[in-house]
Structure formats: structure tokens, C-alpha cells
Structure 1
């Protein structure tokens, strides 16, 4: 039933002084308890945007589950610390498995007792899909927000995801068709990051904000958003940037830190020497401004590659997982694509063809200072190629915005509200 419509017929025989129920969904639907489970910083931001959008529909709703500071700032009641779920890589998950299983059992029990109108798992599929499936089997409605990469990691997982979630909310336009082949209800709601970047990026404004000169080359360095990533990649990226600086006169290097732990790790790697133009500028956050200010971005594979694409900045992508995680993935033949960075995957999936890779990728053993530096220097030296990449990124940005009007959080909220108010 749509919001604002009543499913009760009007009784015209009601006495004139009687109280007539107000139009709208039942009271439980108008003041629902909505559970959300976010597993890391990106999920916390998605959750915060979603709560803000849902409050427009349900001002008195109660939001509970697992979330971070951004969600809590929206009035969210986080039952557990979001850092409990901030793990990456098979080896890391395996080493924390007993604790994760205990947390999942406790969370499921608490959610069953709370009986929320809907449970929304935000990303973190290794944890959330198991929780969603148990709750769905117990009769609760479930949504999975952010489709796992079914186009890269075994498409037949789509059917399995459908057994966990009543509805899957997709950030990329090619995903619902994959789920449809497996009979799963999936909706494209747009990508929230596409709403946060202008189609034409503002390099001048970003450099003014960071107090960088307008007439110097700038390299943005983003070796990951997790402390474990930075510990593995930070020195490699910093060494590569020094090699680039030796070949690019006047180069400024900016290094935005995703959080306090990452900032401390990077600061120890950089040392405590006095600030100077030839020393990397370590920032507290401001990753978007750093990307916008840059001519080229060197970054870890992940969501940041999508952000760099939306900032219309040529990039070089590097990554290493733990050797154990890498061996497991290779032995199980888990990866079904030969490209890793989201801009490269999207270019193929959205019909831009198997053209030259938009973002050079240097993974695992290829992720070395020498190779990262060489790929970065090639971009600095080839202005024509940089222009081609920017044009392709603009096209992909338009595709991610799609034909949808409004912001992604509002579309996600509408899809969830539809599920809450649907008669059982």
C-alpha cells in the first residue's frame, strides 16, 4: 500500500462527533522500528543518508542495529561497535571467526526480540547475508543494500542472495538484470557517490581549499582506508611517490587519511620532519578535495577508485591482500574478471567496450614502487591520454546517475518503505 493511502473503507454512517481514523498506513508502519547493519565507514555513510531519507517518511521511526558515528548522529541506536565488522580479506575473517559468529548469534537473537518492520543489511555481505537469511526464515522482512559484485564473483550467487533478502538495492544499473535471471527482486537506486560529485569537477576550488598553488603538478596518494591496508601498502605507495617526484619538477603530494588510526600510521611512515613543499602533505580526511586538486591519483583498489572516477581524475590502482587470502582466492578460482578497479569493470559492463584499460592496475606481486611510479609517470607525461580518460569518466558518471530524479538515499528509502507497507 502506498504511503498516505488508507486501505479501510469510509463508513458514511459514522456519527458526526465520532473520531475518524486519519488516512495513512497503520500505526506500526507509520512509527516502525527499522534495523540497519553497517560494517565499515562506507556503510556508515550509506546508513546515515538512508536514515535521513527514511525520517522524511517516518519521523517517529526508531533505528537500531550496528552503525558508526555518522548513523548515530542521525539518532541511530548502535547496539555494537561498528569496528567489530571492519575486516577485510579471507585470512582476516578466518582469524576472527569465533568472535564474529558469537556476535552474529547475539545480534540475531536481539533482532528477533525487537521484531523490526524491516532489517537492512548494508554491504558487508559475508556477515550480513547470513544474518538476513536467518531473520527472513523467521518471518522478518529483509533488504540487502549494495549488491555484492555478482558480475565479478560467480553470478550464481545472485540466487543465494535472494534467499537472504526480500529485496536487493543495487548501486549499478547493470545489476538488476543479473538478479532477474535468478528470480530475485532487485532495484537500481543510483549510486550515492554520483550525487556528491559535480559532472564538471572544480580543481581550482579544491586547490584553494587545500592551499595548494594552481600552477604546480599534484599527485594524490590514497593507500587505503583501513589500518591493515595502509600497513601493507603505505610504504610501497610513499616510495613510489618519491620516485615520481624525482621525475616531475615541482610535484606536490597530498595524502588524505581516512580516519585517526590511518593518520597515525601514515604519520609514523612519513616521520616528524618539518613541513616543506617537497614533503607529502598529510591531511585529516578531505579525500574528495585531494582527488579534485590532483592531476593524477595513486590509490588502493576499492571504493576510492569510484570516487576518483567521479572526480574525473586519471588514476593508477595498486593492491595487495595477505598472501594467504590471495592463495585461497586463486586456488578456489573465485574471481571471474580480469580487471579489478571499478572504473574498468563499469566501462565494460556499461557498454564502453574492451577499450584500453582506463585505470592501470598493479595487483599483488606487481604492486611495487617501481611499477606504480612508472605507470603514474606515463599519465603525467601524456596529456592526450589524460583527456581521453576524463571524457570516459564523465560518461560513466552520467550512467551512474541514470534517469533517476533525486538522490540515491531517497530512492533506497522509497524501495524500503514499499516493502514495509506492503501487506503480508
Structure 2
């Protein structure tokens, strides 16, 4: 008769652990980017564990975030300083967890200041590292390529010209298209957007987008709204809309407008709805960043502007390698739309530049064609393309 010990399953092989992939996104744009990648991976890896640090869009794809993403969200060189110890502590704890666990790969979604440092340590330990969205070494801080070579096993890039840059540096790379090119329609519905916002179809509409971060609002709001006041002096029929990223941003925007004595400028504030605002607009005054690419994909004339803390400006202005900072101009390799920075981004200069965007009909037609060509060049199925590149790295 068999003993009870003979009947136990102790000798049976243990079930294999599910494949694990670690990811980090440090701000909302990276959260969206990584979520799209996860949507492409999940059909191929239905049992995989996706974990690390991410936001609500990643978690909607079954992602497990060990820290709230906003623990990492900081904008600007100087803003990092008071948060450095906390952020470095999170990086070290996550590194130790991943070195113990040894995931199939680590994927950093943008956020290079945090992710490249972590990737360098993981790659040195034999863990494959993937970085999604190459740091803009073609724009500034080109010396960072040395760190990228040490840190990154495979780079995923969203602009076609980046492939050759990383190939020449010896970094394996895949161009996967820009997710925004899929999200934004090739032919925007301007009339529908205006109906949604309660604007007349024949209205003259300007969208004001001073930024989604509190620091961007701090430095851009007064100049942007001051430009709106000057534009109204030229055309009283203009209607202004301004999407706000959240209630905190809305209240801060209103506070800054009041401090500048600009309460008389009538602006329709929107809860989010940035794409609706852009689609409805005849022209957009936009802070430099991804939002300028969104405006281009909506085929809208724009003025790109940016202001920041003076000390930070004095540091950053010496790092640029090319004459453009706005993504539409960088992709076009010429100034197809105006860029006004720091002291040049004053209300009068902004208003003058915006007036040309509103009133020069031939220019508007040329821009629409340039931006349509740009849209086609960026259009891929980024979820499928990025997932395929990751699966190749992990040999799954």
C-alpha cells in the first residue's frame, strides 16, 4: 500500500513562471505610448506579466504599477533637483527587483533621464533593454549617444530619419511609426468639432495651448493671452478656445490671467478636448512639444512658442544642434511655421505671427499639403510594429 508521501505531488514539475516584461513610463505621453505597445503584445503573450511603473492607460492593458507614475513626473532640469533623492531611490529599488527577477526584457517608454540610467545597469547584467522613442540626440545633447550604446539593446523610433542615425551608431533600431498619426484622422472634421464646442461653422477660431504642465502654464500663459488681446483689437470676431489638462491647470490658468490683468479676454476653457480644439481652429498658438506635432497632423497653421525660467533657458540655449525646436519644422527641415522663444515670445510678436497664419490664404494651403505629406510619412500600425520588434528581441 502506498504511503501518504507517495501520493503527494512534490515530485511533479513546478509550473513554469509566466514570462515577465518590465516597463517604465514617467509621464502621460509615455503612458499612452506604452499602452499601445502592450495592446500589440497581449495577443501574442496572453499569460505574460507586465509590470513596473506606468499610468492609467497601461493599467487598462493589465499592467501592474509598483509606484504611482506621478512620483516620476517632473518637468525641467531645475525642477528635478528637489525630487532627485526620491526619484533615485525609486530607480534603485526597481533595479534591485528586476535584477532579482530577471524579466525577459525591460522597456523604457521615453523618459530618458530615468530610463537610460536604469537600462544601462540592466543591460550590463545581461537583461535585454528596449527604449521606445529615441532621445532627440539629433536636436540636442548628441553626446548622449555614448550612453545609449551602453544602455540600449534595441531602439524603437517614431520618426523615419532616426533609423539611420542609430544604425550608424551601431544601435539596433526599428522605425515603428508615430502613434499620433494613427489617432488623428487624415481629413479632420472641422465642422463637427465646432458643433461639439458650440461654435458657429463660419467663426474665426484660434486655439491657445500654453502647455499641460504647471511650469509651462506659469511661463507661457500671460504672453499667450496677451497675444489674444492684441488679436482681438485687429478682429473683434475672433473666438478663442483653450483646452485645459485638468482642474488644477484650469484654476492656475485663471489665476495667472488675473495676475496679468487679462480677465477681459474672453476665452472658452475646455476640459481636455485638445484634439477637438485643434480640429475646430483656423490657427493655433501652441507651446513647443508634442502638441505642435498634433497641430501639424490636424493640418492647421500655427505659431510655436516657449518660455521658461531664465536660468534654465541660459543653460539649454547652448545645447541645440539645429535651428529648429518645433517638431513640424524639424521634420520639414525648414521653418514652415514660426518659432518664438523666451523673450521673443512676447505678446506683440506672437500676435503679429498669428495674424499671418490667420490671414495668408496661400500659405495656409501650402501648409496643409506639407502636413498631409508628413502625416503619410509617420503613418504605421505602431502597436503591431512595436510589438513585433519586442517579440524579436525576446525571441518569443
Report the TM-score, using the length of structure 1 for normalisation: 0.85
Q: Work out which of the residue numbers 131, 148, 155 in structure 2 matches 1:168.
A: 155
Q: Which residue of 2 aligns with 1:19?
A: none
Give the whole-Å Cα distance in 2 for the aligned partners of 1:37 and 1:259: 23
**Is the alpha carbon distance of 1:235 and 1:278 closer, same or farther for their aligned partners in structure 2, counting shifts above 3 Å?**
closer
Aligned to 1:369: 347
Structure 2 Cα separation of the partners of residues 244 and 72 of structure 1? 43
Q: State the Cα deviation string for residues 229-282 of structure 1 (Å, max 9, x = none).
A: 1122112211211211221231111110123322232243456xxxx9972111
Q: Does structure 2 retain, via aligned residues, the 8 Å contact 1:132–1:164? A: yes
Q: 2:112 aligns with which of 125, 141, 160?
A: 125
State the secondary structure of the residue aligned to 2:185. Answer: coil
1:154, distance to aligned residue in structure 2 (A) = 4.2
2:322 alignment partner in structure 1 = 337
Q: State whether residues 116 and 147 of structure 2, in contact with CA within 8 Å, keep that contact through their aligned partners in structure 1.
A: no
User: Which residue of the partner structure matches residue 385 of structure 1?
Assistant: 363
- Structure 1 partner of 2:171: 184
The 5 A counterparts of 1:6-405 are: 31-269=18-256, 279-330=266-317, 333-348=318-333, 354=334, 357-401=335-379, 404=380
Contact 2:190–2:280 (CA under 8 A) maintained in structure 1: yes
Q: Deviations over 1:294-320 (max 9, x none)?
A: 000001000000000000000011101
Q: Distance in 2 between matches of 1:359 and 1:98?
A: 40
CA displacement 1:123-178 (0-9 Å, x = unmatched): 11111100111111112111000001121124443342121110000000000101
Q: Which stretch of structure 1 is more off in the superposition, 301-310 or 220-229?
A: 220-229
- Greater shift, 76-85 or 177-186, is seen at 76-85
Cα deviation for residue 42 of structure 1 reads: 0.6
Equivalent pair of 2:20/2:104 in contact (CA under 8 Å)? yes
Residues 56-79 of structure 1 deviation map (CA, whole Å, 9 limit, x = unaligned): 111122111111111122221111
Q: Distance in 2 between matches of 1:225 and 1:27?
A: 44
Task: Work out the number of aligned pairs and report it.
Answer: 378
Q: Report if aligned partners of 1:158, 1:178 keep a CA contact under 8 Å in 2.
A: no
1-structure distance, mates of 2:52, 2:188? 36
Q: Which residue of 2 aligns with 1:10?
A: none
In the alignment, is the contact (CA less than 8 A) between 1:216 and 1:252 conserved in 2? yes
Q: Deviations over 1:29-69 (max 9, x none)?
A: xx421111001111111111111111111112211111111
Could you tell me whether the CA contact under 8 Å between 2:229 and 2:265 is conserved in 1? Answer: no
TM-score by length of 2: 0.91
The 3-state SS of whatever aligns with 2:123 is helix
Go from structure 1 to structure 2 and tell me whether the alpha carbon gap of 1:418 and 1:253 turns closer, same or farther (over 3 Å shift).
same
8 Å contact kept, 1:267–1:282: no
Residue in 2 that maps onto 1:9: none
Q: Distance in 2 between matches of 1:27 and 1:388?
A: 59
- Kindly report the root-mean-square deviation, in angstroms, between the aligned alpha carbons of the 2 structures: 1.9
Range that drifts further, 65-74 or 88-97: 88-97
Query: 1:155 touches 1:178 (CA, 8 Å); kept in 2?
Result: no
The answer for unaligned runs of 5 or more in structure 1 is 1-25, 349-353
